[in-house]
Amino acid sequence: MAVTGWFVALVALGVVPVVAVGQATGSAWPVLAAWLALCLVLLVFDVVLAGSPRRLSVERSLPDRVRLGESVTSTLLITNRGRRTVRALVRDAWQPSARASLPRQRLVIPPAERRAVSQQLQPFRRGDRMSAQVIVRAFGPLRLGARQAALSAPGRLRVLPPFNARKHLPSRLARLRELDGSSAVMVRGQGTEFDSLREYVRGDDVRSIDWRATARRQDLVVRTWRPERDRRVVIVIDTGRTSAARIDNEPRIDTSFEASLLLAALATRAGDRVDVVAFDRRVRGRVQGANGPTLLSRMVDTLAAVDPELIEMDWDAVPGQVRDITAHRALVVLLTSIDAPGASQGLLSVLPQLTQKHLVVVASVTDPDVVAAVSQRDRRDDVYRAASAERSLLDITRVSAAIRHQGADVVTGAPADLPPALSDHYIALKAAGRL
């Protein structure tokens, strides 16, 4: 039940008879009572004659997934199964961060007919965006009153991480192909696998000429090498409290997702097996055993719903998590944050267990604002801020040195730079045959 502005206007219109008759006869109370009774009767009449919103059936058609920043069309098909025409104001109750373009729409549905209500959704937050119900307000023929009901029509739209770092993928894939034996560029080093023999072309490294084959073929023949394949890459994403920090208008966890997606895309093309686990004190998401194109889709699907938790990361459990994924030597990428020595104690204490068996890379976002604050020294409080920023950079340097001392690599970068930097480090490791 609801009333409209017309009903309010109708009640207000009673001023005319109340004043006119009151002035003429000296008694306005009966007129007032009669007018209010008239309004009430008209309202009841209108509400009773309104088409019932309870006699509608709602169908939803909506894509399952959308990448953050893109928009989708959500359509509601509403069928009138009642006997009266429904003049409805329809609201699809999407969560605010789904950013529905037209949350309220008017439509008229004659009996036994169906109408579609479409709107654009452009979600601005990652994760599952829900709409539990559709609310219909059906107006009466006089537009004075309305009947209102909420209809159950659950809808879910999974908003995937944007993967903006995919723009770096083509250049890194080209670098990867250069590593491969198919390219004219040769890479030497321990651990690279022998691929094939081919004719020498100018520019090839003379050290890779295979003299025995040259003798057989009467032509210069070089050996080609290709990087190892079928290595394991385990990406551990820290979803603990430090990942909630917003750096350069992007939470640390989102940068971690971007970096892990780019690395996974690259590594799966290079023929390595990638497993991902998002962890703080328990596993928030895990992608295991996926390969090729399914890997990325499963990754974005799993990571979409992972948000930072305000609890401390349990580093002691990380070696166990890695052991669960693979028993062999692997490249373990820890996407976490490196700040004060005190806060990084947990990480430092478990690193030896990991580095003993695996190749470990610790990747962390640095704050470009802090770096900029160091050279900003115009005013008194700027100097203190510069000192404080310098102190935190020194802390990061100390922790990084400690991590390197434990035998792990460190990759740092601003939010926009970390994903390509991590991929470059992976390519460098592959080229050096360290995987």
- How far is it, in rounded angstroms, from Cα 343 to Cα 23? 83
Helix, strand, or coil (residue 111): coil
Within 248-277, which residues bind another protein (CB under 8 A)? 251-252
Residue where the block lists tokens 């995987």: 435
- Here's the x/- map for another protein, 299-318, by CB under 8 A: it reads as --------xx-x--------
Interface with another protein (CB under 8 A), residue from 79, 214, 321, 355? 79
Confirm or reject binding of residue 414 to another protein (CB under 8 A).
no
**Per-residue DSSP letters for 163-229?**
-GGGGGHHHHHHHHHHHSTTSS-----TTPEEEEEEE--TTS-GGGB-HHHHHHHTS-EEEEEE---
Interface with another protein (CB under 8 A), residue from 68, 72, 86, 89? 89
Give the shortest CB-256-to-another protein separation in angstroms.
Answer: 14
Q: How far apart are the first and last CA of the chain?
A: 69
Interface with another protein (CB under 8 A), residue from 213, 220, 244, 421? 244
Confirm or reject binding of residue 292 to another protein (CB under 8 A).
no
Confirm or reject binding of residue 161 to another protein (CB under 8 A).
no
Confirm or reject binding of residue 7 to another protein (CB under 8 A).
yes
Give the shortest CB-151-to-another protein separation in angstroms.
Answer: 5
Helix, strand, or coil (residue 97): helix
Nearest to 235 by CA among 258, 255, 264: 264
Give the shortest CB-80-to-another protein separation in angstroms.
Answer: 10
User: Are 318 and 372 contacting, i.e. CB atoms less than 8 angstroms apart?
Assistant: no
Confirm or reject binding of residue 167 to another protein (CB under 8 A).
no
Interface with another protein (CB under 8 A), residue from 46, 68, 86, 91? 91
Give the shortest CB-130-to-another protein separation in angstroms.
Answer: 8
Nearer to another protein, 18 or 317 (CB): 18
- How far is it, in rounded angstroms, from Cα 391 to Cα 393? 5
Within 113-142, which residues bind another protein (CB under 8 A)? 125, 127, 131-133, 135, 137
Residue where the block lists tokens 């210069």: 220
Confirm or reject binding of residue 397 to another protein (CB under 8 A).
yes
